[in-house]
Structure 1
Amino acid sequence: MAMRRLQWKNRLLLPLFLFVLTTVYIAAALQIQPQFSEGLVGPGFMPLVTAFIMYAALARVIWNDLAEEREKPEGSLLPPFLIVLATILYIIAFKPLGYSAATFLFVLALFHLFQFQEGQMIKRLLYAVAVTAIFYGLFALAFGIRLPTLIGVI
């Protein structure tokens, strides 16, 4: 029983640390002063949105951890290694393949590794296209970042 309590406390250390870190981050974001009136969306808006998303995610992790009392089997290092490998390949392929192709393939690889929509390849492809398009819109259109293209087209 004492070992279980110790494991429970250890599992909550990282989420609690991230909670404190997010609180410090949000305090710093509130100190950002705009140069001129920008309405609702000023320089501190995105940090605040990010912090509140982090709070929601941490609440979910802590809630699930508190609700979960069963023992977990020992995991393998293969899945994390494959995710790191996919990320390295994405970085290598980003410039030659361009944003669209490299990101689409990377998202498909992550969906496969996380077994997202397993057995439903059409849905998986559509979700990969949607994720690629959403992040293209965010980076290229919202932030004005020039992303590499494949042969100057996509």
Structure 2
Amino acid sequence: MSGKAVMARLAVPLGMLCLSGVYAFGVFNIRVQFDEGFVGPKFLPGLLCLLAFLLLGKIIWSELRGLQSEKADAEALAARHSDRLKWRPFWVAVSILAYVAAFKLLGYPLATFLLAAALIGLFSETRPGLLKLALFSSVITAVFYGLFAVAFSVRLALLPEGLLWILQ
């Protein structure tokens, strides 16, 4: 396979890996004011970095293995190169950046609900119905609220700051 074809298949994952590295460097520069135990200000960003590195490593590994495999089925090859799959890591990163940007303005419940809905839409093979999408997104939001607010005692902004700003 030519060098251009290899770069075409690895460009987006490698670019996302570089951005994750920059983000990880920023996580290590977060200053901790006082010891908050295991779940401090570096915990969630560090967890996201680790998850990004692992998933991008898996994507790159599978792409490299796919390059070596000449027995690929034509139908599977067409599915792998579809635009939706090729740009999926990019749209995941955009969704997460939008979540981070909107978290303070919208509050935890709405921002997390919208992120969950976006990720479900990205990773669903079929288009889920609106009711099913709302149900799954609500369950995901509740589970993560239980994990962080209840289990780890992380304070989450429940009310949208944008709403408080409007009411003033």
Structure 2 length-normalised TM: 0.51
1:146 and 2:155 correspond: no
Counterpart Cα distance in 2 of 1:44 and 1:135? 17
Q: For the structure 1 residues 116 and 56, does the alpha-carbon distance in structure 2 shift closer, same or farther, using more than 3 Å as the test?
A: farther
2:24 aligned counterpart, secondary structure: helix
How big is each residue's C-alpha offset from its partner over 1:5-34, in whole Å with a ceiling of 9 and x where there is no partner? Answer: 421222212211221221121122112121
Q: For the structure 1 residues 20 and 67, does the alpha-carbon distance in structure 2 shift closer, same or farther, using more than 3 Å as the test?
A: same
Residue segments in structure 1 that go unaligned for 5+ positions in a row: 88-94, 148-154
- After TM superposition, the structure 1 = structure 2 runs for residues 34-113 of structure 1, keeping only pairs within 5 Å, are 34-69=32-67, 70=72, 71-72=77-78, 75=82, 99=110, 103=113, 107=117, 110=120
Cα distance, 1:124 vs structure 2: 7.4
State which of 27, 30, 43 in structure 2 corresponds to 1:29. 27
Equivalent residue for 1:134?
A: 143
Q: Which amino acid aligns with 1:8?
A: V
Q: Which amino acid aligns with 2:140?
A: V
Higher share in helix:
2
Residue segments in structure 2 that go unaligned for 5+ positions in a row: 96-105, 161-168
Please tell me the root mean square deviation across aligned C-alpha atoms, in Å: 4.5
Q: For the structure 1 residues 67 and 128, does the alpha-carbon distance in structure 2 shift closer, same or farther, using more than 3 Å as the test?
A: same
Cα distance, 1:144 vs structure 2: 2.7
Counterpart Cα distance in 2 of 1:38 and 1:8? 45
Q: How many percent of aligned residue pairs carry the same amino acid?
A: 24
Higher RCO, Cα 8 Å, sep 6+: 2
Equivalent residue for 1:19?
A: 17
Contact 1:19 1:55 in 2 (8 A): yes
Aligned residue pair count: 127
Q: For the structure 1 residues 124 and 44, does the alpha-carbon distance in structure 2 shift closer, same or farther, using more than 3 Å as the test?
A: closer
How big is each residue's C-alpha offset from its partner over 1:56-86, in whole Å with a ceiling of 9 and x where there is no partner? Answer: 1101211221222444267478xx9xx9xxx
Structure 1 length-normalised TM: 0.55
